[in-house]
Structure 1
């Protein structure tokens, strides 16, 4: 677990597993190494300045569509293309191993993308697991925004899976990490007043159909 220990707060790692089992979600402030968060933020800001991000859509395959009235972020899939990405993805692989060891989840792989929200952008309430496709098991969000202040907006809301009432409001501060059950936890991103950067990711099971291995995206 050396990779994870160098990136994640060690004590919070144990709390993460406990909260996933008990509540179905977890949030940890100052969970990630801030130096790494800054390197990742610089990378996504550079991509945004170069207009190298893609407008995010909803759905997959034939159901994929651009709906800026639902989702307004721009994305770039992580591909091990930088030292910061490689360090982050290595830590997430170590976390995947721990989750499989302790919770027997059978997680197959991890996929993730940068998400950059320009001012005014939001993402309406949704679940991360696509209809009829339950291969996304645990969702993760890593926040990369330093000096985030009250009034800047962009908080993520977590809703109770039974009552659909808001139970948490998470400011997107650098170093904060949250994860939750993809099929169970409804969540929403409120409109942001400042450029907002994060990494959205999913631990997945292999969902093969007709002998074909399910692709990551």
Structure 2
């Protein structure tokens, strides 16, 4: 099995059950250490190209303070991760009839003191984002470094999810969530599985 392909331990039934019951799923130890290192190097070697994040139509908002770099064909390692998310999308479509047909993603960097205030990725169904996916790139993470994902599930219960290295968090894009203030550089790939509607 190739090192950047989803492992057999990546239990799709667990993911589907968790998404259906809670609206989110956590998968740990997603990739091999070698592929993780390649992804991290691809991200960190372009940190000088990151720009202050905007939330809509290029407008920078004070509700977030991270920097991002959109992923395109010039990032082959990250593109493989996006291909894996597309494979997952097929399972989501088969089981939940979501109609996902596109994945968009960017690298995200939260330096010490940075955060993302409470929000929804798809508020009131105003965009095509169906499932959000956050993959954590850093080598290690300690609880006192902050940067946790604070997420409200389908039953409106709140969860604090640690940004553990090599962890993937999948959640419905309409769920309320935030990123607590980081005390250490926090690196991730944030992706959205979208249902883009063709205009005739």
TM-score normalised over the length of structure 2: 0.89
CA contact (8 A) 1:4 1:94 kept: no
| Structure 2 counterparts to residues 15-94 of structure 1, below 5 A | 15-48=14-47, 51-59=48-56, 61=57, 64-67=58-61, 69-94=62-87
- Where does structure 1 lack aligned partners over 5 or more consecutive residues? 213-217
C-alpha separation in 2, matches of 1:144 and 1:8: 17
Q: Give RMSD over aligned pairs.
A: 2.2
Offset at 1:159?
Answer: 1.7
- The residue that corresponds to 1:199 in the other structure is 189
1:73 positional shift = 0.9
2:160 match = 169
CA distance in 2, matches of 1:180, 1:142: 12
- SS at 1:138 equivalent: strand
Structure 2 unmatched runs, 5+: none
Deviation of 1:130 after TM superposition, in Å, equals 4.3
- Pairwise CA distance, 1:102: 2.4
Measured at CA, do residues 176 and 206 of structure 1 come closer, stay the same or move farther in structure 2, by a change above 3 Å?
same
In 2, are the aligned partners of 1:129 and 1:182 still within 8 Å (CA)? Answer: yes
Deviations 1:24-47 (A, max 9, x none): 111122233333222221122111
The alpha carbon displacement at 1:6 in A equals 2.2
Cα deviation digits, residues 61-120 of structure 1 (max 9, x gap): 3xx4212x3101111111132331232122112111222122221111110100011111
